[in-house]
Amino acid sequence: ETYGLGRPALPEEVAAWDLDVSPDGTGLPAGSGSVLDGEDIFAEQCAVCHGDFAEGVGNWPKLAGGAGTLDHEDPLKTVGSYWPYLSTTWDYVNRSMPFGNAQSLEPDEVYAIVAYILYSNDLVDEDFVLNKDNFLEVEMPNAGGFILDDRAEAEYVNFNDACMTNCKDSVEITMRALVLDVTPEETAAKSGTAAEDQVTEADAEQPVQEPVVETVALDPELVAKGAKAFKKCKACHQVGEGAKNRTGPILNGIIGATAGQVDGFKYSKPMMAAAESGLVWNEQELAAFLAKPKKYMKGTKMSFSGLKKEKDIAAILAYLQSVSQ
Classified as helix, coil or strand, 239 is coil
Rank residues 62 and 321 by Cβ distance to another protein and give the closer one.
62
With a CB cutoff of 8 Å and minimum separation 6, the contacts of 28 are 21, 87, 90, 132, 135
Q: Return the C-alpha torsion angle 169, 171, 175, 179, nearest 10.
A: -150
Residue 189 in contact with another protein, rule: CB under 8 A: no
CB-CB contact of 312 with 320 (8 Å): no
Among 150, 203, 214, 241, binds another protein (CB under 8 A): 150
Rank residues 231 and 311 by Cβ distance to another protein and give the closer one.
231
With a CB cutoff of 8 Å and minimum separation 6, the contacts of 236 are 48, 100, 246, 247, 248, 302, 304
Sign of the torsion angle spanned by Cα atoms 85, 138, 73, 151: positive
Residue 186 in contact with another protein, rule: CB under 8 A: yes
Among 125, 137, 149, 205, binds another protein (CB under 8 A): 149
Residue 6 in contact with another protein, rule: CB under 8 A: yes
CB atoms near residue 43 (< 10 Å): 16
Residue 132 in contact with another protein, rule: CB under 8 A: no
Residue 319 in contact with another protein, rule: CB under 8 A: no
Residue 139 in contact with another protein, rule: CB under 8 A: no
Give Cα 221 distance to the centre of its chain: 28
Rank residues 14 and 272 by Cβ distance to another protein and give the closer one.
14
In this structure, are strands 32-34 and 129-131 parallel, antiparallel, or unpaired?
antiparallel
Among 30, 40, 103, 216, binds another protein (CB under 8 A): 103
Instruction: Give the whole-angstrom CA distance, residue 293 versus residue 179.
Output: 46
Rank residues 71 and 210 by Cβ distance to another protein and give the closer one.
71
CB-CB contact of 63 with 99 (8 Å): no
Residue 9 in contact with another protein, rule: CB under 8 A: yes
Among 139, 173, 217, 298, binds another protein (CB under 8 A): 173
The distance of closest approach from Cβ of residue 217 to another protein in the complex, given in angstroms and rounded to an integer, is 27
The distance of closest approach from Cβ of residue 277 to another protein in the complex, given in angstroms and rounded to an integer, is 33
Among 187, 206, 215, 277, binds another protein (CB under 8 A): 187
Residues of span 250-289 touching another protein by CB under 8 A: none
Among 125, 127, 139, 162, binds another protein (CB under 8 A): 162
CB atoms near residue 98 (< 10 Å): 22
Residues of span 11-70 touching another protein by CB under 8 A: 13-14, 17-18, 20-24, 49, 58-60, 70
